[in-house]
Structure 1
């Protein structure tokens, strides 16, 4: 069984999506909670994948990650995960085919840029 999570996050709280040593990232926060709840052992062992990476400060509303759960798949529910996450919200969870990869199964991507004029 493989699960996909639809997530949203406030990018101002992170140094981007992709995990990096010694800084807070979206992927790092998700993996921290999934490991804490024993839903995954490690990103490599559980085939953790993300649909799209974002840079520092960039927020997302409809990003997707997938993984093969370990022993506690029953805890991979929005209400449980959201209780343990900060600045990341799980909007939904779905069982997906084993060959599912969120980056390649996406039908489309939409980017919106908001530029703020701060006295320039």
Structure 2
């Protein structure tokens, strides 16, 4: 049978999603766990696929993988999670034989979060209105040989909460560093160093300017959509994941409070 799994992870301690020799990657940990459990012996023969290849430090709420298996019980989220750290499978679906986690996706959604101090949120909200539609994003990506830079952006929204700015972008596909470079452009506009007219010229490629991507730790893969896939939530796996996330949140909150103590003591 062919299975798809939905996973979340913190990318901070990994060298990106895609397997690389000599360094810990999310894909490397997942494939090892599947082999150790007897769910997948050979990823190639199992026609393993993943929805996306997130960079080093990027997080995910909805990474999706798919593979053929003769051991469905060993492939369930609760089994997989017993072998993983800071990677949580929490839903599964039986999919058609031709399902491919990357090629079958019809839409992906990312969120970028950045500190909003000193940024004009109204200017950023106004600027993002030009993104929806089909455009050439060559000024907003690291161009890879043989890959088209045309993407169809379905929606972009911006909101502010507790001093943070949340940028949500949905598109049919994303290219290397695309969201992080868009975030760079919006930050420049929010700081008053660029304007909407400049952004329009960058988007219609009448202007070319190199943009550095913002930090990877502010980016999360939020959603991957497929037609006719019915997800089954593994309640035990999800609840255990939520417990672990709560503990991580407390630990990070303690660190945050300690940083506040140090900062206030130095002033």
TM-score when normalising by structure 2: 0.42
Corresponding residue for 1:99?
98
Q: Secondary structure at the match of 2:78?
A: helix
Q: Secondary structure at the match of 1:115?
A: strand
1:22-74 deviation line (CA, Å, top 9, x unaligned): 1111111110000001101121121110001100000000110000114x222
Larger RCO, structures 1/2 (Cα 8 Å, 6+ apart)? 1
Could you list the runs of 5+ residues in structure 1 that have no partner in the other structure?
none
Cα distance between partner residues in 2 of 1:94 and 1:13: 28
Corresponding residue for 1:29?
29
Corresponding residue for 2:112?
113
Cα distance between partner residues in 1 of 2:78 and 2:34: 13
1:38 aligned onto 2:38? yes
Counting only pairs closer than 5 Å after superposition, residues 1-120 of structure 1 correspond to structure 2 as 1-70=1-70, 72-116=71-115
Q: What's the C-alpha RMSD, in Å, of the aligned pairs?
A: 1.6
Cα distance between partner residues in 1 of 2:12 and 2:42: 26
TM-score when normalising by structure 1: 0.91
Larger Rg: 2
Q: Secondary structure at the match of 2:113?
A: coil
Q: 1:57 to 1:116 in 2, by over 3 A?
A: farther
Figure out how many residues of one structure are paired with residues of the other and give that number.
117
Q: Which has the higher helix share?
A: 2
Cα distance between partner residues in 2 of 1:69 and 1:24: 25
Cα distance between partner residues in 2 of 1:62 and 1:86: 17
Alpha-carbon offset, residue 116 of structure 1: 4.4
